[in-house]
Structure 1
Amino acid sequence: MSTSTAMASMTMTSASSMASSTSGMDMDSSSMMMSSADMAMVFFQSVTTPLYSSAWTPQGQGSYAGTCIFLIVLALVHRILIAGRAIIFDSNQALSRRRKDISSDSDEYPGSKSDLESMGERFRSQWSGHPFKVATETARALLEVIIGGIGYLLMLAVMTMNVGYFLSVLGGIFLGTFVAGRFGGGDDHH
């Protein structure tokens, strides 16, 4: 009887300690969990919004203005690099991968046998007309990585939902397109 009483006592003690530790975990996890109301995606205005890391947190109007100017310049450089890509790779026939205009006088539906054959012929002529050159493809790939990286940095700045950062990115895109938009490709808007 004493053994069963001791077991029952241990079971109750462990159950009560589990309950208290579980309730403690619930309290900790509930304080860490955010409700959907806490995560409302609205624009706000603050001069102390961190950008890219907590180390880059403006401490006042001057440093906030400097951060906004940085974002304007970054967006400007992004648009200039896109235009530079078009100048370097699209304007030089030896480096270009631009598809030649294909007449659409054919009455055949897309996906028909002759359309697929002509697409294969166009692919073969493009492939043989642009041999693989390591130096050219490396330069093209590095430029794309830089353009993509800057684009993602701009996206992260906009995702802070800070009005000043958002308007700075838009202002930089405007300035970059104003300065170098005539050189960029017509179908590349990223």
Structure 2
Amino acid sequence: MDHNDMTMTTPAATTGMMTMTMTSGSSMPSSTSGMDMGMDMSGSSILMSSAEMAMVFFQSVTTPLYSSAWTPQGQGSYAGTCVFLIVLGLLHRILIALRSIIFDSNPVLHRHGKTISSSDSDSYPGSRSDLELMGGQLRTQWNSHPFKVATETFRALLEVVIGGIGYLLMLAVMTMNVGYFLSVLGGIFLGTFVAGRFGTGDSHH
């Protein structure tokens, strides 16, 4: 009796184990498909966020400038920020003109030899005579511009200030705020209008 019960329950238990195994096996693909769907959704959200970050101009009076602490809170503070950018652009062009007045107005810098071209018919660019003329010009320029620590320090500091202001103006434009962009252009216009005649030979922006 007991032996028969054992033989009868053993196939049932085996069938139950097989059912559990098949059930667990069938649930694995569903969980895997769920993970795939989650990954697809996260990938699509990344694509959507990158599409939303497209560089387009916009109008806003609460756009931060240079830091989160500098965030206009209304029309008045936004107008003050725009005035600051106009003054910054004006200062940038004035400093460029100042550099031209101090350093580029030296006639030695614009002296070009009138006898550098050879009248020989066999002369060509890169020939020995051209190299000798270039070497002579370099020696003349070097001797006429002696190195002075004070002068070169002032020149380097002026270039750093001009470059720093230029990068600040660039960062303001990169906010894509229409008001900031127009303010930078207005400052450049005013600076060129006031002091542009002193830096006509300058190509920096």
- Alignment of 1:146 with 2:157, yes or no, is no
* Aligned partners of 2:66 and 2:172 also within 8 Å: yes
- Cα distance between partner residues in 1 of 2:111 and 2:199: 18
* 1:23-102 matched pairs, under 5 angstroms: 35-92=49-106, 98-102=109-113
TM-score (norm 1): 0.77
The amino acid across from 1:89 in the alignment is F
Give the structure with the higher percent helix. 2
- The 2-side partners of 1:75 and 1:111 are apart by 43
Shift in alpha-carbon separation, 1:29–1:104, aligned structure 2, 3 A: farther
Q: Where do 1:127-142 residues align within 5 Å?
A: 127-142=142-157
CA shift at 1:41, angstroms?
Answer: 1.3
Show structure 1 runs of 5+ residues with no match: 1-19
TM-score normalised to structure 2 length: 0.72
Share of identical aligned residues, percent?
A: 78
Cα distance between partner residues in 2 of 1:35 and 1:111: 56
2:93·2:196 contact (CA, 8 Å) conserved in 1? yes
Structure 2 match to 1:115: 130
> 2:125 and 2:85 mapped to 1: Cα distance?
45
RMSD (Å), alpha carbons: 3.2
Aligned residues: 180
**Contact 2:100–2:202 (CA under 8 A) maintained in structure 1:** no
User: What is the distance in 2 between the residues matched to 1:152 and 1:59?
Assistant: 25
Gaps of 5+ in 2: 1-33
Which range is displaced more, 84-93 or 69-78?
84-93
TM superposition shift of 1:158 = 0.5
